[in-house]
Structure formats: C-alpha cells, structure tokens
Amino acid sequence: MTRFALLFVLLLSACSALGRASAPLDAYTLQPLAAVQGPSGTRHLVVELPTASGALTTDRILIKPTPLQAQYLPKGRWVDPVPELVQTLLVASLQNSGGFRLVGRDGAGLTPDFVALVEVNDFQAEAPDPATQQTPVHVGLTLTLLHEVDGHLISSRRFDAIGMAVNAKTLNVVAAFDAATRQVLSEAVTWVNRTAR
C-alpha cells in the first residue's frame, strides 16, 4: 500500500470514529413524586445543588462493572447532569408533597425556613448478576437539613435503593433508575416533612 493510500485509509477511519463520537445520544429523564391533594404547609425550603463525585457530575449514565471502574452507557444520557437532575426531582417532589408553601433552588428573595444539603453518593448501574443477567441500579443520597436563620444542624440521613433492570439495554436500565429513584424520593420526602416540623 502506498503512503498516500495508507494516509487516506487512516483519514477515513478517523472521520468515522469522529462521526460516531459526535452522534447525538438519546436523552432520558426521571419522574418526581406525584402531587398530593390538600392544603400546603406554611414553610419555605431551599434545596441546594447536590454535591457528587467527578464521575457523577456529568449527564452521562454511569455504569460501574467493578467498584474501581467507571464507564458510561454508550447510547444514552440524562437530560441534565446528575446533580441538577437530582435537585430538580427533589424540588418537585417536596413541593408536590404539600408539606411546604414553597420549595426552590434558591431563596428567590425570601429567607427560607430550612435548607437541604444533598450529596449524591450513588447513581449508577452495576455489574449484571451472573445467574439472572439482571442489571442492578444503585441510587443513594445523603440529605442534611439545616435551620436557615442560624445554620443549626437539625438532622442528616442517608437513603438508598436498588432497582433491577431485566438486562443492560438502555431503556430497561433507565426504568430501573426511575424505580430506585422514586423509592429514595418517597423516603426522603417523608423524612424531610417529618423532620422539619
């Protein structure tokens, strides 16, 4: 093969790889808890932007084949980076719970009664079970509730849930994320409403 032909083949290969890398990925979101009927509370809560490890501060869907590996599903992404997605879900779910008059991402010019600090500990798919080929999804959050006026720590708690995808296909993994996230949201919202009384 001549030098020109070899260069042409390498150029075609690079263009093909670049095209695959720049191809748009399907975007996925998750559901907040549904709104409950009845009067809302009188308190104001701010949910700060969650903190997370570097592997989770992205819109890519994390999969950890082993505890020491971080990879991403090749055919999908979240609509927002994970911290923003979790914040949106918590704000909507807490507002829908009826326990607060207002739940937001910032004070919106008002002094809130409470501030929720959030850490995303786990938000990943993990290695499939060799026996069943089901893919576990782990969602774990730590919530810390503070009085805004004096910064007094009220309480802190971790919430974890596992969802199971029937296989590693993106749609099934996202459905497992939705199930695990909704379980964590349900427990976290109940805890926040009870603790902030």
**64-75 burial string, b = 16+ CB within 10 Å, else e?**
beeeeebebbee
Q: Report if pTM > 0.75.
A: yes
What is the amino acid identity at position 88? T
How high is the mean pLDDT of the chain? 88
Q: Token pair of 65, please? A: 């084949």
Residue 142 has pLDDT above 70, yes or no: yes
Q: How far apart are CA 16 and CA 93, in angstroms?
A: 43
Compute the 3-state secondary structure of the chain and give helix, strand, coil in percent, each to the nearest 5. 30, 30, 35
Residue 178 has pLDDT above 90, yes or no: yes
What is the amino acid identity at position 32? P
Residue 23 has pLDDT above 60, yes or no: yes
- Residue 197: band (very low, low, confident or very high) from pLDDT cuts 50, 70, 90: confident
pLDDT at 10: 42
- Concatenate the DSSP letters of all residues of 14-53 into one string: HHHHHHHHHSPPEEE--PPPPPPPS---S-EEEEPPPEE-
pLDDT at 150: 82
Q: What is the pLDDT of residues 27-73, one digit of tens each?
A: 999 999 999 887 788 899 999 999 999 999 999 999 999 989 999 99
pLDDT at 7: 37
Lowest-confidence pick of 36-45, 95-104, 165-174: 36-45
Positive/negative CA dihedral, 139, 144, 148, 154: positive
- Residue 8: band (very low, low, confident or very high) from pLDDT cuts 50, 70, 90: very low
In the block, which residue shows the tokens 């570097």? 54
In order of their start, the domains of the chain are 30-195 (3.40.50.10610)
Is-contact 189 33, C-beta < 8 A?
A: yes
